[in-house]
Every structure is written in C-alpha cells, then in structure tokens.
Amino acid sequence: MKRGLLLKLGLPKFPKVAGTVDEFDDWETELRKKYPVRYAVAEAISLCFKPLRTAKRKLNNAYWWVQYRVNPKHKYTTIKLKKLEPGYYDEDALLFYAMFEIFETFMKRQLTDPQIVWEYDEGCFPDWMLEDDLEGVKKEIKSRNDRWKEMKDIYDWWVDVYPNRESTLPEYPTLPKEWGALACLGRKYDDEKEMIEYKRIINIHIKAEDEWEKEDEEMMIRLVKIQSSLWD
C-alpha cells in the first residue's frame, strides 16, 4: 500500500520492471532521503489504515477457512478419482490414478487458458533482464520449453495411449460350453486346437501386462521428475 501512496504523492517509481527485496529496500531508503516530507505522509497514511487492513485480512482468512472445509469447489485436499469405478482398490492403483488424474486436471487448464503461455521466447523477458543476463535467459527459455514438451508427452500418453492399450490385444477365442467355465485351468483339453489358441492369447496378454507395468512405472517416474513445474 505504501508504494502506491508514494506514487500518488508524485515520487518516482522503481526504475526496473522487477527487482530483488534488497533492491526495493535500497530504493525506498533513497526516496526517504530525497523526499522526507512526502515519504513521512505516506507512512502516516499507511499506519492509519493498518487496523483496517488487519481486520480485512482476518475476515478474509475466516472466509477461506470456511470455504476450504465446506465448499466442494475449494476442497483442494480432497481427491475424487473419476476414472475408477466405485469399489475396492489397493493403494498402488489409488496412487497411480491420483497422480495422473491430478496431472490431467492441471494440463487441461494449461491447454485451454489463453492467459497462460508456456512456449517462452525472448519477448517474454524485460529488456533489462536480457541485457544483464542474456545467457541465463536463453537457458531459462530452453528449460521451460523442455519441461513443457515433457509435460505434453506425459499428458498425451495418459489420455491417448493408456486408455487404449487393451484394444491392441487379440480377443480370447470362445471355448466349447461343454468343457466348462474352468476348462482353461486344467490340462484335459490342452491338445485341442481351441485350447492351444486360447492359451496362446493368454500368453500374449500376460506379456503385454508385464510390459505395461514397466511402462506405468516409467511414466510415474517421469511425472515425479517434472512435478515442480505443476503450478498455475
């Protein structure tokens, strides 16, 4: 608030687009020395409004305390898994789906919100930053683009590849009804062509499931590695 008052009282604004805390403190110290009267007026006005600001902050905190506990929209600590049917699941499945459904929700916001730009270029940085640390800016641009590419690859796998994996496998052949529902568990019909084909398909499914388990683990690891970038 005080910085806004200083501007309204005609004092010059901070010379950079952004700066460190120390730079802002040094700038205010310089203003205090150059414009002692107007700076003192700004401090006095700011102190007068301090009780109001404190009361407003407490009311705001109370409002959000209720919202975070009552309003379903703001229960951010509650995870509702939409892609699992109601039922019992072991913790490995719950952890897997929780990770990727949270990630999917995040990515949908990034892909549809026109205010969020992930593909950075030099135009996203102020001139003073380019002049002071051009190499650092270039590294930051590459790092951001690399992270976005990895996030997009993981998202595409989750929404396009993962749900359709089972459709790539051959269907099980129909065994004669007279063999019984548990025929594939015994050896009585092992020499029959239907059973030979059935067990061949079983082996294909088992091999695929083993490969998918490794793939799921790899994608979870990749997601963990970029989790620090998952913020709006």
| CB-based contact 170:201 (threshold 8 Å) | yes
In this structure, the number of other CB atoms found within 10 A of the CB of residue 189 comes to: 18
Give the per-residue pLDDT at 183: 83
Model pTM score: 0.70
Q: Which among 57, 42, 49 has a CA at the least distance from the CA of 8? A: 42
**Cα–Cα dist 95/92, whole Å:** 5
At 116, which amino acid appears?
I
CA distances from 213 to 89, 153, 205, 217 (A): 16, 18, 12, 6
Going residue by residue through the chain (232 aa), what tens digit of pLDDT does each one get?
Answer: 566 666 666 777 777 666 678 888 888 888 888 888 887 887 887 888 788 888 998 999 999 999 999 998 888 888 889 999 999 999 999 999 999 999 999 999 888 865 555 555 556 666 655 666 777 777 777 788 888 889 999 999 999 999 999 999 999 888 888 898 888 888 888 888 888 899 999 999 999 999 999 999 999 999 999 999 888 7
Give the per-residue pLDDT at 151: 93
Q: What residues contact 157, with CB distance under 8 A and at least 6 apart?
A: 219
One-letter-per-residue 3-state SS of 71-91? CHHHCCCCCCCCCCCCCCCCH
